[in-house]
Structure 1
């Protein structure tokens, strides 16, 4: 047993909680094994079938994750694995897939399981964005998903991943998750992947248990109890909430859920997850929760509970969100909408742009999620939807996100790059041509594509495509 990975105080603490059909020895052995690399195909950008074809062409070996039809364990050729980081591949930078541990794909799958309404959703602790982007893909960018993150430093990464994956139905908030207690019965579905002691992540992070103490478990559990109570207040009657952690002890898992039911016995119902996927029964608890130990599926440890709200609970008073002030965006005028659509038609042969969901602030034009209007005035947002353009002296200055999110609507002025050209573009370089390959393009903005997915805008010049990738998105080490 690797004492460096599993401190003796943790072994003594966790041993009584290991299920009878599992052993402490197998748990320790799997904790010491390297974690299999796994990815999730981003269906907002590419279909699973097309990604499999792409992977085959690159000699990537994919093995399906049983609980997620877009999830795969990935093996790359040794030479590539040793020289090119998976996150530096052009396919990853273009948002075709998300590097995500297989077990962490379970909470969004459990939330969407047999769920008819995913119209207005909340991800309480959203960074770095794996579950938000997975949920947005399940919603096919319809409705709205509020992605909240309390940590300022982690919020930047959350937005970057939302942007990279082509999520257009997100609304970002930056607040303590306990404040959602005041948004009574606002959300159809809520995902609470709670902050935890991280006992299940040791295979990914050998230092995960370095500072573990039993006292810290109880301290974290107090926060978790507050968060689950707040989220339950914000859940609509008939709605479903997923409570999940990447830790293993029952204090942060089963006991948090059972305490909620004890507090609201007539309002809380646990929905068993034994039918979520084939083999789920191996990790089921008596209460219908999934308690994934590393040795069961050769994955990280995880806990997932599905909770349904049967009736209303007593609301809180003194709502701090009642004095938010006037919302600074207004729907675009009919005249501005017509001008914008005509510009897109002239440049890109775009026939039907969803201007009914467009808003304006000063000289900026934004696309907001279809169901976002229901949340205006209820909560303060840090960023909503997708910036499309700014008003310019002679028309519009297009934003990078217009290309990466709405290029499928464009029927002309697109140009497919090969892998070498795509890497050059993502490094911020211009793409030069020696013949008349650009002859079919009109002057002005061009959407450059890789694997039929938009990387951004370039400007057509006689002998090159001038790079217009925003400086903050330039990646010097992409391959």
Structure 2
């Protein structure tokens, strides 16, 4: 018996995919395409406290391939849950959480790693990876498209880990930077077959020609980024497709071109897994190519005299600008481990062990966020940043704090004026919900200035 999915799929897709899946698997897949997509979230292990916090809908069961993953029995109004905005959890498709198992299985766990998520927006896999990397590791997370990079930056800041740099570049820019990574995740742009159940637009845009175009683009991206992978490094290649051109054939191409060993691969298919469609393969570099062993120290030693002079002038300017901000070191815990510098007009704290990487990124890449954004000067004040409040390195003794109930928290997140208890000290106050910071207000006594970022505010007005 032939099963036809309720979602109308392109004929050429159906013919090809039935052939590679086989009739039994195709039947299960076709039936699942008529079902509601599962709802899943991933808990932030740095923030979510199971003994005192609740998710906005009843939990169903754990996600088997991710310790922090949970299925929910229904889809709630996530936007109106302050814990989402505080970074306590992240709404993520379950298959995408598989990156945590890949990192746990194949990445070194005995030393700090330098990791790149190359095509990272909106940030689900980045925050998932960050939660399982060895202590002291640095994650650089990148998105080429500026509007999507803004979303990535927001989600990274809400997650709250201080050792992340966000950039807005293409793979070739990273190659030119000569930065080197122990792990690279390339969740490459694809034809989107795995999203057909959730996104009708993906169905409309699908074509055989687009599959071929995507497969070629994926090879181009990998070719551009491979010089950044250290010898013996781990490459994780991922798509949300089922076809062999974008998946197995591209992995075979990578293994052949760069002497890579395939450590694992997995297809997630609706009907077989409680998820949308995803393909992920882990590859280890086994060959040695001297041209790929460029390190930061080699980059510094090979710089031209002009480059060195510009770098010295830039560092002198940054040190001069930071002199007025040394007081901000008290705003973060463990401040002796951080170097305070500038990113545009903003003050940021970057862990000292990664300061050379930050300086190189600032010189060679478009850095949007780095470390802990502390604040921005305005007149005689330094306005503390939302990122500071959300960071797990925030020092709660540095500012007055106020705990908000749910209604007041929602008003704050809508960027409305809120009323604080009358005994709240004047000045900058960190406001929170269930023990997690949401951001800052400036308490003027008879009123408050809401400092929640305009671009992040809740626009939904109904409280259903």
TM range (shorter): 0.7 to 0.9
User: What is residue 154 of structure 1 aligned with on the other side?
Assistant: 148
1:438-457 alignment, distance < 5 Å = 438-439=422-423, 441-457=424-440
User: What is residue 295 of structure 2 aligned with on the other side?
Assistant: none
User: Residue 351 and residue 171 in structure 1: after superposition, are their counterparts in 2 closer, same or farther (change >3 A)?
Assistant: closer
For structure 1, list consecutive stretches of 5 or more residues without a partner in the other structure.
Answer: 273-288, 345-349
- How far off is 1:363 after superposition? 6.1
Matched residues, number: 438
- How far off is 1:73 after superposition? 0.9
Deviations 1:186-212 (A, max 9, x none): 001110111111111112113422232
User: Residue 105 and residue 111 in structure 1: after superposition, are their counterparts in 2 closer, same or farther (change >3 A)?
Assistant: same
Decide which of 26, 37, 48 is 1:24's aligned counterpart.
26
Decide which of 100, 120, 123 is 1:126's aligned counterpart.
120
Range with bigger deviation, 368-377 or 303-312: 368-377
- How far off is 1:244 after superposition? 0.8
- How far off is 1:249 after superposition? 0.8
| Contact 2:174–2:365 (CA under 8 A) maintained in structure 1 | no
- How far off is 1:466 after superposition? 4.2
User: Residue 384 and residue 143 in structure 1: after superposition, are their counterparts in 2 closer, same or farther (change >3 A)?
Assistant: farther
Question: TM-score when scaled to structure 2?
Answer: 0.84
| Contact 2:429–2:441 (CA under 8 A) maintained in structure 1 | yes
What secondary structure sits across from 1:297 in the alignment?
A: coil
Answer yes or no: is 1:419 the counterpart of 2:419.
Answer: no
| Contact 2:99–2:129 (CA under 8 A) maintained in structure 1 | no
User: What is residue 296 of structure 2 aligned with on the other side?
Assistant: none
User: Residue 375 and residue 421 in structure 1: after superposition, are their counterparts in 2 closer, same or farther (change >3 A)?
Assistant: closer
For structure 2, list consecutive stretches of 5 or more residues without a partner in the other structure.
Answer: 293-298
Answer yes or no: is 1:340 the counterpart of 2:290.
Answer: no
| Contact 1:141–1:169 (CA under 8 A) maintained in structure 2 | no
Decide which of 359, 362, 376 is 2:341's aligned counterpart.
359
Task: Tell me how far apart the structure 2 counterparts of residues 420 and 141 of structure 1 sit (CA, whole Å).
Answer: 37
- How far off is 1:167 after superposition? 3.8
Task: Provide the alpha-carbon RMSD of the alignment.
Answer: 3.1
User: What is residue 244 of structure 2 aligned with on the other side?
Assistant: 250
Task: Tell me how far apart the structure 1 counterparts of residues 315 and 73 of structure 2 sit (CA, whole Å).
Answer: 46
Deviations 1:407-438 (A, max 9, x none): 742136111111111111112223326xxx44
Task: Tell me how far apart the structure 2 counterparts of residues 162 and 352 of structure 1 sit (CA, whole Å).
Answer: 20
Question: TM-score when scaled to structure 1?
Answer: 0.82
What secondary structure sits across from 2:128 in the alignment?
A: helix
Task: Tell me how far apart the structure 2 counterparts of residues 7 and 363 of structure 1 sit (CA, whole Å).
Answer: 50
- How far off is 1:128 after superposition? 1.2
| Contact 2:388–2:394 (CA under 8 A) maintained in structure 1 | no
- How far off is 1:97 after superposition? 1.4
Decide which of 166, 177, 190 is 2:184's aligned counterpart.
190
User: What is residue 350 of structure 2 aligned with on the other side?
Assistant: 368
User: What is residue 388 of structure 2 aligned with on the other side?
Assistant: 402
Answer yes or no: is 1:384 the counterpart of 2:369.
Answer: yes
User: Residue 183 and residue 261 in structure 1: after superposition, are their counterparts in 2 closer, same or farther (change >3 A)?
Assistant: farther
Answer yes or no: is 1:14 the counterpart of 2:23.
Answer: no
1:101-120 alignment, distance < 5 Å = 101-115=93-107, 116=109, 117=111, 119-120=113-114
Answer yes or no: is 1:209 the counterpart of 2:203.
Answer: yes
User: Residue 375 and residue 420 in structure 1: after superposition, are their counterparts in 2 closer, same or farther (change >3 A)?
Assistant: closer
